Structure 1
């Protein structure tokens, strides 16, 4: 090989490590339904920055937890509470020490129709509706929070005949958005993503237990670079800014 050509070939070989990207991977994430829109925004930015791919499955925290217990192929669990991640962390299904709070949820009473109520507590007490949507308190942390609010107001027993329960907070929101319920308790983040005006009451935090949304690394994802990268990225300022923009608080 002529010397000039040989030198050029060696120079190209020396440059290869600098321009060859790290091997991209895929992370399968089980995500609480209230975090759907936020996750899509986060995943788009994460994929652009890292080259990894996020495959997200959304549902109620209780149902996702049951699926993980039954062997569903997820690498990361992003719940809407801290109880179920803690249970998994104490089992062989998750990596001990990987659990952290990625968001603090806020509950809201919402109707897509402007002027539905001016005093939310008075509206609930007078029951000016035929159906009030909530998520199932047994499987969805936001549903449990809604139950706690109604118990705080002394209305839980009285409103039972008018409650329509969604399997997840996403379904409860859909009941209201479609007009099948006149109003409902939903995640504030869902309302932030709704394009039209409506009537909104952000429920005082004192009315329900804090919604600490926690994530953890599952054993299936322990050796996957994309899974570890996703969880680390969620704690960075870019991700935290996106999470705040969707109406959540974040851990200090």
Structure 2
């Protein structure tokens, strides 16, 4: 199946100024994708949509929703589907960090992290799958983390690692179930990336410490991850599904 001429990608967690979601929305808009933006703040969503339209000449629509609330998320995707061309791709990028140690971990923190980082991915996938199956084409990419593969060791700890490991299982299962409808489902596992989810802007000292564990000589950028997402949702990536692409400077080799 070939993509329609006018195609929309939904990007969750797109509005953070220094985040992977925003870098992804900007890169995909520059490549001609129409952009559906989902984030918590309506003002930020609207502002980004206007900026993308102005800069790249694409259609963009921002709708505020908490991905951990299935009703809100379904409603947001309904609005995007009604207002933009056919939904061809979904980039699940919304996430929260959690540096709290296991012995200090509360039930509330456990559920907060899993609700956003795992349940929110499921809710988004479940809704867009309905449209993608009907249309007979789709690409889904979700951010996992090298923390899922190494048991943490970067910034966030146990509930984050558990949620991101769950994303890998969800990715593989959905790839199997949705493959007959020409829908691919893949995950990306970033290593250290210079975003605020790493606990704020990385200092030069912190970057140097992180680089010691890598086989390249720099910490990753949001553009590194956005480029990988662009590849996996592209028309030419239709024979790749159920996979995890590590964008981590060689931190985890498997």
TM-score normalised by the chain length of structure 1: 0.31
Q: Which has the higher helix share?
A: 2
Structure with the higher strand share, 1 or 2: 1
Q: Which has the larger radius of gyration?
A: 1
Which of the pair has the greater relative contact order for Cα pairs under 8 Å at 6+ separation?
1
TM-score, with structure 2 as normaliser: 0.31
